[in-house]
Structure 1
């Protein structure tokens, strides 16, 4: 009974003492520490406190009550100091928050298990296609030849194709980034096809009933169970509304969103790892690329985004001149995140419209190609919203030559500044003005800290003479050379600007299908001249002048008062200039690093001096029969001093990465 009562009173006492240690350690360190680390530190302090107190007390009969209290306080302080030292070391080795807590581990074990299985599957796919060696972060020789790059590109394509919908979509997007990938990779990745086996009608019906909340027969008068086309994200069926209008119904595959989110989570984690561990990952900024790709793919999975894009594109086409180009009108009341009902446009995809195009004749085909090019220029330079993937499968051609644009799940959007810079770049290329082209290009891209503008200007001049001079016919080769020029000068291309290049690179192949003799560069030059002539019309110039005056008027009204205040301050000697030091984050990082190194050196030196003093001091409390307390603390401080000094020396002698 007495033992049981002792246990009952001991546990609350132990909890109160541990809580006191935890609060004291947090307050003394002055930073927030995780609950688990605080509890472990308090337990360590409790464990250490007993032996320290036993070593300090020579015997119960040798001290009075006051001395015992002082020894208990001293032992508690020493134990807290040991716990804080352990916490600081743990923070250096494993920062707080870098590992999930027990609650997070318990809640997320299932998702981690699923992710681990998918990780294992991806690694097996990569290894099966000979790509495992490129995940170790080393630079591999032997890829300088075109043959070796072609073999590697073929392996990458096969691995992406086997990886599933997310990786197929990734490969398709990368196939348009000629600024990032060599031509061998672009040629291979363009062969990726977003095809899939059709899903059974019961599954399609289940999605339709779930989204509309009523049977399919109440929504449609007719519904063809056989799909018109099946892709990895959705499949399309033909149907007829109760009022007799023919429509197409785009139905998302069941469970595809969960699969894509799982793969995107893995892809983002993999991109961050590659950017951290590999040089090529940092140079390509794969984390930003993966983030942009994830955002675009999530938009593609939400059919309400495509509905809004269709409505906006239809309004833009209606506002401009009639070029006989349409987009299918969505039925707003029959659109959700997983189902989209659209007007059915009659025509044949360009990729399979040889007979239709041949019946149009050469002159009409040239008109159709010019109309499509003018529409894209109008979307990019005027509207700020454009179709980013106008490949032949996304363009329908009717018997009269009118066109229909399909698949607007993901569109490009440009702000006014970017549109003006694109217009200046195209105008400068048309005038063969390398200086103006260089200035416009630098407004479009992310400039590095150092750039040789004169060399860039000369390279642009050579490119203009080669590809943009009258009589030259280059097409996609001009865009490839421009991408190579951007990569050579280490210019970063924002995603929206890369979408423009992707659009024109894809459009070149589509225009060639419409008119095999069509010259994209010459056509763009003519369209640019026409738009420039339209822009300098008196009514347009007057409107532009009025817009500029409206913008400048508030500044002009405030200018006299500001000048008067500046003159008054100068006259009375109150004129001062405020400069914010270290406003740039890079400057703050440099100064912070220097301060940290100086602080580490000072603390290391102080710890070394204290260690020598403690090791040279005789007597003191005994921890064991062999070691005294001063000796133990001295050796501990000596270890701390050596570690801190070594950290400083490593930073001093380490070469900065290139």
Structure 2
């Protein structure tokens, strides 16, 4: 009851902020939200800005509501299926900026976290932060051995503020699932859980350091794409120190021109790196806004801020590659089949009808000029129309889709007449040949068979234990089951035949593995 009262009052406060920015439409998802919206309009003065698109108005309101709401907005930017494509696109540019906290507090936190006097750790320290976001702020400094570094420091008391706001988000999501069954497939509670997990990882800078280290390892042989080195000696739970990178923001077109950087070549490098993150590594930077990408005089791209990273397992990468290939070649039946094979669409749905839906999405997009084709928006529209077919939300694909849209937006700033996917086409074709061709499928089948063989002794042991239990205690069958068994001899012969074939196949694979 206390939780209900507390969060009800907080929801009213939030609604009044939304009303001031004319951004009350998210309350349509909350039980009683329309009544709450009317009350909020009556009690909150409107601050203007109604000429802005709905997503931008919502973004402004979330920025005013504070850090957790900013993170919620960034999470919702990956949920076009929940809030619509246009609003999601506007939220993807949500500004994660807050007033900085004093440098004296930052120094004290650094010294406490690293367990040493500040002057022993750093000989120079820029007291004006270079960035101040919802979770942390960043200062430039210099170590006693002369290295220039960037120090990320967690905001004081931020964990308490997030815990309070997350409780409100969970409460609202639980109400939505409880009162609106049609929205359960969108997994609102799971969306908040994703946000909570992401925030927990972001607030422990040791995890971010590990992500940066793994990312650096993945690109260690690429001279065009640079990830700064972590200073592990000066990194702790709430302090992250890494090598300082220099250059101009990747969207500073004027500066790039003055430096003599070929923007088409730059886009080709960035597109290749993005493709490799997704398909080669299955580990991608999920916060690729221009403020995290810098270009030096040689044209090398440096990446910072590894708090939000995404992973895509190998099987999902294969499904995604086949899905995109199906769209690009207008093989809509294959696109539909992939959704059923992956379990994204329930088996009781119509494959032919879903194929028709895929065609309705692909044809308008693929009919555009090459430079205007957006794979991210194609996926976004696909996720939106799948409600009819009971397709469940795929969080890993939603994060990837949002990242694709941001990357595509950046590509249009760099070189409006180029398409990033076309520039990376040779890589895409090579990867698909290596992973989707006949040889790759045979290798995958062999790998799965080998995995099955390794598990076989455990399966046989479990079967023997089960058999022993049944022998000892007896097995009672329902009369209808006995009748079905007696009447199903033909089916039994078929099962026996198929079983023999299965064991022959396993034996053949075993011999192949031994002889290899």
Which TM-score bucket, shorter chain as reference?
Answer: 0.7 to 0.9
Give, in whole Å, the separation in 2 of the partners of 1:323 and 1:440.
Answer: 36
Q: Secondary structure at the match of 2:356?
A: helix
Question: Hey, what does 1:641 align to over in structure 2?
Answer: none
Q: 1:297 to 1:280 in 2, by over 3 A?
A: farther
Give, in whole Å, the separation in 2 of the partners of 1:327 and 1:137.
Answer: 48
Q: Deviations over 1:126-148 (max 9, x none)?
A: 465563974444779xxxxxxx9
Question: Hey, what does 1:224 align to over in structure 2?
Answer: 126
Give, in whole Å, the separation in 2 of the partners of 1:149 and 1:439.
Answer: 43
Q: 1:218 to 1:379 in 2, by over 3 A?
A: same
Q: Is the 8 A contact 2:339 2:345 kept in 1?
A: no
- Structure 2, unpaired ranges of 5+: 36-49, 462-475, 482-516
Q: Secondary structure at the match of 1:330?
A: coil
Q: Deviations over 1:545-571 (max 9, x none)?
A: 76355335458999999xxxxxxxxxx
Question: Hey, what does 1:332 align to over in structure 2?
Answer: 232
Give, in whole Å, the separation in 2 of the partners of 1:139 and 1:444.
Answer: 38
TM-score, normalising length: structure 2: 0.76
- Structure 1, unpaired ranges of 5+: 1-98, 100-108, 141-147, 562-575, 582-658
Give, in whole Å, the separation in 2 of the partners of 1:403 and 1:485.
Answer: 37
Listed as ranges, the matches of 1:277-296 within 5 Å are: 277-278=179-180, 281-282=183-184, 284-296=186-198
Q: Deviations over 1:91-142 (max 9, x none)?
A: xxxxxxxx7xxxxxxxxx8x999767745643543465563974444779xx
Q: Secondary structure at the match of 1:455?
A: helix
Q: 1:501 to 1:153 in 2, by over 3 A?
A: closer
Picking from 2, 14, 34, the partner of 1:122 is 14
Give, in whole Å, the separation in 2 of the partners of 1:262 and 1:372.
Answer: 39
Q: Is the 8 A contact 1:237 1:250 kept in 2?
A: yes
Give, in whole Å, the separation in 1 of the partners of 2:478 and 2:210.
Answer: 48
1:497 is the counterpart of 2:358: no
Question: Hey, what does 2:69 align to over in structure 1?
Answer: 167
Question: Hey, what does 1:531 align to over in structure 2?
Answer: 431
Q: 1:400 to 1:578 in 2, by over 3 A?
A: farther
Picking from 309, 316, 319, the partner of 1:421 is 319
Question: Hey, what does 2:285 align to over in structure 1?
Answer: 387
Question: Hey, what does 1:342 align to over in structure 2?
Answer: 242
Give, in whole Å, the separation in 2 of the partners of 1:470 and 1:206.
Answer: 56
Give, in whole Å, the separation in 2 of the partners of 1:127 and 1:484.
Answer: 27
Q: How far did residue 153 of structure 1 move?
A: 4.5
Cα RMSD (Å) = 3.8
Question: Hey, what does 2:378 align to over in structure 1?
Answer: 478
Give the structure with higher Rg (CA): 1
Picking from 156, 160, 174, the partner of 1:272 is 174
Deviates more, 1:201-210 or 1:489-498: 489-498
Question: Hey, what does 1:452 align to over in structure 2?
Answer: 350
Q: 1:139 to 1:127 in 2, by over 3 A?
A: closer
Picking from 361, 385, 400, the partner of 2:298 is 400
Listed as ranges, the matches of 1:1-40 within 5 Å are: none
Give, in whole Å, the separation in 2 of the partners of 1:437 and 1:274.
Answer: 32
Q: Is the 8 A contact 1:381 1:422 kept in 2?
A: no
Q: How far did residue 540 of structure 1 move?
A: 7.0
Picking from 337, 345, 368, the partner of 2:266 is 368
TM-score, normalising length: structure 1: 0.61
Q: Secondary structure at the match of 1:238?
A: strand
Give, in whole Å, the separation in 1 of the partners of 2:458 and 2:6.
Answer: 62
Give, in whole Å, the separation in 2 of the partners of 1:315 and 1:303.
Answer: 18
Q: How far did residue 488 of structure 1 move?
A: 5.1
Q: How far did residue 255 of structure 1 move?
A: 0.9
Q: 1:181 to 1:444 in 2, by over 3 A?
A: farther
Q: Which of the pair has the greater relative contact order for Cα pairs under 8 Å at 6+ separation?
A: 2
Give, in whole Å, the separation in 1 of the partners of 2:258 and 2:293.
Answer: 16
Give, in whole Å, the separation in 2 of the partners of 1:383 and 1:205.
Answer: 37
